[in-house]
Structure 1
Amino acid sequence: MDEANTQAQNSTSGGRVSLRVLLTQDWHRKLTCLFTVLFLLQFVSWFAAEENMWWPETVAMVQVSLWISFAIDIIPGVNMWLRRCVQLWALIIVNGIYSGYEPVMYKLHSRQDFGNWVYDNFWQLHPYIWFSLGAWAVYWATSWWLKSRWRIGITVILSVLVFAVRDSFSTLHLWEETALVIFCGLMLLVISHFAEVKRKNPYGWAYLMEYPATLIATILLLLGITMIPGTAMPTIRPILTDPYTAYKQWKGEEVPAYGKTIAGLTIGSSANSSSGYSRDDSSLGGSFTFDYSPVFSVDTSHRAYMRGETRSYYNGNGWEMSDGDKQAVNGPVVPGNPLAKDQRFNVSKLKTVTVKQTVERLNEDDAYPVLFGAYAVNKVGTINNETSGAERLRWAPRQMELRWNNSRRDNYPTSYTIESEMPVSTGDELRSAGALPNPAQFSEYLQLPRDLPQRVRQMAQQITATGATPYDKAMLLVQYLQTSFPYTNEPPTELGKSGDFVDRFLFEIKEGYCDYFSSAMAVMSRTLGIPSRWVKGYTAGQQDIQDPSFGEFPVDGTDDGTGSGLYTVRNSDAHSWVELYFPGYGWIPFEATSGFALPAFTPASETALPDLAADPVDGTAAGETEATPAANKGNPYLVAAIVAAVVLLTGAAGWWYRKKILVWAKKSRLLGVKRSYNPDQRIVSEYARMLKVYRRRGVPIHEYETARETIERLKRKDVWLSKDLDDLLTLFEKAKYSPRRVTDEESGRAIRIVDKLKKAT
């Protein structure tokens, strides 16, 4: 009788009661689905942070697929299998809309016609449909699995272990994901417990439902007591060493450090990390050792930095993709066709020069999320020597990036050709660019943390007080950073106490490597209202040319003004710099790191561009590593006379020397002297090149010393290079004095040692 009265009341109480019934019906299953989605999204967040795994479009499609599956799953009064069918069709429709699906019609006269019709229609959804269906299958399986408390417990424990291991042995930060996994697990346990209470004790459950607010408040209070203290506690260094680290140290082995920072303190900053292209830039800092292993070779028409990716969001410790970059739709790449431009910005005044490059991968184990090339890439020619194979390549016009889907390492191209348009606008032109027409349009590139220390803004204002234009202010920042802070790969991070990375560098650490200089340049530019974005990639690399006119010694670089030729890019060439925006000219690269300069190029048709070889924005002269001292203004005529005399004397000496060498070369040909080295001669030549490197750095080299005495003296100066110097001495003595011939492998080892000494000294 009571049930009949209740039903009658429900039927006559109006739509509000009916809606309440619909929302509360099967509540435990709906809440289980909700927290299952939140649980799975933490794994998606992890995969998104792995730059070598998923495109941003893939991440977005998986997230949408999970939420669509959840939304359809909580529709009341629908059969389970019907829900599955609706989910499947919804995912196919969403993928079709995203992929720009266009129906392909066939007259189905045979089985082959039917197969072609299925292939041509379904293939348009590739590859995102597979990720959507995979996410849907995982959601379905996980929802079924997480129905009992022991399953929930095992799943959460294993998930936390996986996140903890990946966080510990990578540059990724997965602390937030781990905390949310634990939270979802606790909520699933609570839901499972109350579902069991309702099933076994319906009367007790009915009593609890009379006071739902009290029940919910109690649950939230217990979860808050459990979660909030753990997440709110200040982060400190670990007191105890974890078992893996203790075991490795007991065996006398080093444990890799990944340069993560906590509240301004670098964890594991013992210089165990090696140089190379970064995978995670959200927390910069720490130390590294130089890795001279080759990455790729570049046959280029103009010497240029090899640009990879950009980051626009500064979080106080490093750089991340902005929301705009994450949400932007990227397009396919058609080899031979020009790539799409970023229509948000006007670049009508920009002057460029065409750069053609062929890139060959030298290390099969290396794979990257992008293809590298001179800025800015305009066309893709071939991939693996074919005009096809660009299905995995996507073009991101906002960041001007060629993104490669690296789901498998063996997919990364072994070679590719590209064509770029490199900016060559002069300083005078950029000074005339003027202010931003609409600063709100550039908010993404002017973003700064709310807690950025005020002294960073004040320093930027003081440095640029004499700058009349944004370009002048940018150049003053470049000059200040390059001349005020020394370069080092082992900055004293223990001096840093500030919570902001740039503030620590400018006021506490006061030395560092490219990430420190480029971040400071980008942040200080933003405080002045100049849009900036952080760029990472590689420098131009090294070109080693054998020139017979210079005898037996190799010559670095070319005398060609374009710097064309074949370059080898190594992990030690990994680098970061900045790009600033100027109205009418677009994004222009700037180099703020001490000892580095962007490659220069002067178009043949514009020989009178006085700023081009002097301004870092246009590329300071190739090979120039220090700021040129100011000229003596007391007597400009005397200075001009001295400069003219030096130029004339240098030219005359060069002409005489070259003529003498050519005469010697002609005699050598007549006498049958071979120009090529044997391994012994190569090692002797490399030893002489090493002495030249030290002599150029001001280290005296005495002719009366033996090779062993010289090496012993250099070892006292550079203790950390003792092993390399000893190895080179052993090879030199064997090549010079031993009756046994050295091998090609030993000759190659000598070359690598001298290359390392050249960069490390």
Structure 2
Amino acid sequence: MMKRSPERGLFSWYRIFSVFWLVVIALQWIDFTEPIWLKQTTSITSATLLTVAAVEMLPLRAVWRWLLKAVIVLFVWRIVLVGYGVYVPEGRFFPDQLQGMAQHFTPYIWFSLSTWALFEIALELLTSKKRVLLFLAADLVAFAILDSFTPYYLWQNVAWTVFAGLGWLVSLHFRVFQLKYPHGWNRLWRQPLKIGANILAIFACVLLLGVNMPTVSPVLTDPYTAWKNRTGGSGGGVVPAAASVGGTVTFLAQDEVISGYSRDDTELGGGFEFSYGLVMTVDTSVRSYWRGETRRNYSGKGWSDGEEEGRQYDIYEGPSTGEVLMPEDTPDPGKLETMRVEQTITMQNEEVYPVLFGGYSIGGAEILDEDFENSATMMWAPKEAELHWSPVMELASSSYEPDRRLYPQKYKVVANIPLIPLEEVRAASFDELYAGAETNEYLQIPRNFPERVSELARQVTAEGDTPYAKMELLQAYLRQNFEYTNKPDLSRKESEDFVDGFLFEIKQGYCDYFSTSMVMMARSLGVPARWVKGYAPGTQPNYENMQRFGEMDTAYRVNNADAHSWAELYFGDYGWIPFEATPGFDAPVMYEQEDGSIVTSVDLTQSGGGAAAEDAGLLDWISPKALRIISFSALAILAAWAVYRLRSALYYGFYRLRLGRPLTLSEKAVLETQRLLRRLRHRGYSRSGDETLREAFARWKLEKPELQAALDGLLREIERASYSPQAFSESQWRIVRELTRKLNLQTRKRTKWRFAGRI
């Protein structure tokens, strides 16, 4: 028969400490995943962990703790996801909002529930020194591997894990000592400051050394890095991206559908696996989407390629002079002011791309690759704002060398980042924006385009008075009502049209689904739109690491998983403005305020601006950070309330820890009376040092005769508890509690009367 652990189901100081140390370790993993996960995923996971841990520390029965956890975690889900705009409450709480929450909380709640489950499993299993040591070893080995083989700097995470591990082991050691040697624990408890000061000093030294350890470059190269460098940085698993066939470049498809820059967009849909192979690094002062190509002709299944659409090119070829090329046919920016930003792109693979990438509209380029010093072929399409790189001419020339690379490894582009006057363009009407404009090619819609898509677009944007306001409503609708996934359930699809199937049947997908729907719904409303593909900004080393290590590269790291598509909408003299309909992505658009200041789209979202701000609810005006503070404050208030309600249990629990054994009923009666005497002293019922309890009670009865019955009954029971050789019974203990409560209430009324009399 399995022996039941004395800790299970009991509330003790060790339970509180073990929860605390486990939370510290878990937060290190959440800190590691922060650059990988969406912000809302990190927030909801952190809030769930802290909520569950706080409730676990309460001295409640297990069933009440589980119930309380479920209720508060549900509340946290709502607070965080509403704060991030993932879900907008509509209708009554039951059943409208409950149904809405069930649809929009995924996939975030799965991360939350997984965190909760792992926390509970770890807390249940880690009950011995051997298990805790194995758990810590697994954590440290995992952090060491990630620190060595990834760009993440995890030494501080290791230091905090070691700190928490030592704390956990010390706590466990003291708990075992308390259970095994209760008398020795009592003697140890009499000198808590001396023991605690030594422990804290050791912990502080470990933590300070770990956090402030200087970085040291590795003396040896680890085997994985050496093998990776030997295979050209690909890791040994990349099929060559391009091959020469009959004087043209044909891009080879991968056997496995993985994320990356799309080569064929004629038939969109399906699923894919994320690939995190590094594509390029971008050194720039302004965060941006790295724009590649645009498409304008929609077939109902996808987008026609550039050759079918046709392009007018300005061709540049010859030696690189070191000067930035400025195309003569660059479109007039109209009413828009632009910010000139230089961006240096360094490719990290051997693939050949059809374009040179850059932030927004490229105004010029300079090749920095030595292999292309004397020959660089670029084709500028000013209408589409695309800078094509063509190795075709070089392939056809007699001087072509088969082993020579076909794509520059490093180049610099000059991007003209528009500064959009948001209030001005938001107020512009259809006539002001499109009167006399020739935009029919960007309003193309197939003949068999489903009418219900157009009708849905009209319904969603009905409250918008201007084109820009309508597009904000449309963008918000797509972001808030459809699920992002890289593997949509295609079994739901019945419609032959890609957009129609997404909006009404599949209702989930990735960027191609959202961006194509945004473009086509905008066109159905008369707003010119085009589809753009390229890369999301990627990741940049965090500020703390850049401050600490001056030699750290600050460039954005863009990998295959950052491949992305979005919509650009045309607003007359204000030009093409990016719109991001995909949840979890934020197009880094720059807006010029009326006071001349520059803000980004992310700043506007966090400050309560953006789509449909006038109709936003109370919580939508609060930033996600403020919402987290509110939720944590609410949990603190709940914890304080629970402590107040359970103050008696905590009071006796403290003395139980001091004694190292359960309290007898007579001891509880004495402690309860002592607590009452402390309260009475603050209410004016003084007792001199040489006065016995019987004498004090007699004097108080003369001052306040209505207290006589309660004082006599309590005195009788407390003398039995203190001096009688017979065991104090449960019924007597209930009498003591009832009398102390009665006296507490009677004397509280007396205090109010005395205060009123003074007035």
Higher RCO structure (Cα 8 Å, ≥6 apart): 2
The two structures have a TM-score, normalised by structure 2, of: 0.43
Which one has the largest radius of gyration? 2
The two structures have a TM-score, normalised by structure 1, of: 0.43
